[in-house]
Structure 1
């Protein structure tokens, strides 16, 4: 369900953005007193000590390839970074910091810590705690607002990543482990159009969650493979995925949705019950299922 912000809400967000960018000094051509603007310093940080690929940098920073290429050329000209074909795949550009780049990164980190401390120095203890708590909440909500959910092919890289993590978590959490050969767990053909779909949630380009829908019978669908990365839990993503799957089911002219779950997945059981799913008798032969649910769609 889309949220319609009030005009005052939009104004407050814009005011917050203006205050934040000014306080952080990101509008200064010499960010943190160094000989470069904020965007170049941020790129050094994202490359980091371990390096990164150009594709990863584009995803993390939301940059187009042309702008990123220009920034990388600037860093290379200053002997702060190098860009070379990856040893694993020559089509992939691997970016690494030089010795000078690593030294500069350490300086930037120290200056960033000093800037953060300066935000607390003029506040009393109570105000400092309120500011840090508010920043943590804003950061969490901004991450939640940055998540994008879209259908993907079940054999796509993002879908495979999520499904592999999903099965690995079941194997770790179920008392007797999880065998993917049972219950047609490796069969994803039902999650393709026109009978179903598979949704993948991404945060800054990285897959962090999934959910699938398949047809059980005419007008009846089943939700499968609901998973959210532990790093993304607490963002309301499970509920968003569930709502998106219900919307997809309506488009498939499904009037009823069913799903099953295991008793060890307490958070999933709470989600389904709070979303209006009621427990019913067993409707499948899934050997790992202990609870069965159904919901009539409106």
Structure 2
């Protein structure tokens, strides 16, 4: 049975799934397995301890008690910014990441966010397709993230941009 719960940065489950996420992202970026040094740099460059309290939220999806996916949102200047969206390869294709993003969208609305935005890379093809299917639209860069080449935004205040229905 799959469940979604609020995760706590710094705990074993949260750190484990985020470390696995960063390992995959770094490996895809370099086109080979990530080295320990590269992973250490990624962990330092992409902290996530602020994904709690007033500054953010981290969600974990569990299947049979084990964390199989994560997704977070930072609350920045009236918007929410998605980060750390990841599903273990063994759990992909079941709509888990989509459910996590929809839950984050609801949390962002509850906190008064005007939009949900994110940056990503074009080589993360599956993720880009999922975001577009959830109603995110391509926008101009809103930050100078060196590893990003795509930026998306979803308006949370307009009925015209509400989440599409379906699987």
In terms of fraction of residues, the more strand-rich structure is 2
SS of the aligned residue for 1:159 comes to helix
Alignment of 1:192-211 (within 5 A): 192-211=52-71
SS of the aligned residue for 1:221 comes to strand
Match of 2:142 among 262, 268, 283: 283
Aligned to 1:253: 112
CA shift digits 1:196-223 (9 cap, x unpaired): 1100111011010000110121x21100
CA shift digits 1:29-79 (9 cap, x unpaired): xxxxxxxxxxxxxxxxxxxxxxxxxxxxxxxxxxxxxxxxxxxxxxxxxxx
Please say which structure displays the higher CA radius of gyration.
1
SS of the aligned residue for 2:145 comes to coil
Distance (Å, rounded) in 1 between the aligned partners of 2:88 and 2:156: 27
In terms of fraction of residues, the more helix-rich structure is 1
Aligned to 2:88: 229
RMSD (Å), alpha carbons = 1.8
Structure 1: gaps (5+ residues): 1-145
For these two proteins, the number of residue pairs brought into alignment is: 152
> Deviation above 6 Å: which 4+ runs of structure 1?
none
Structure 2: gaps (5+ residues): 158-167
Higher relative contact order (CA 8 A, sep 6+): 2
Aligned to 2:4: 149
**What's the TM-score, normalizing by structure 1?**
0.48
Distance (Å, rounded) in 1 between the aligned partners of 2:68 and 2:132: 23
Distance (Å, rounded) in 2 between the aligned partners of 1:246 and 1:229: 21
Conservation of the 8 A alpha-carbon contact between 2:26 and 2:42: no
Conservation of the 8 A alpha-carbon contact between 1:147 and 1:201: yes
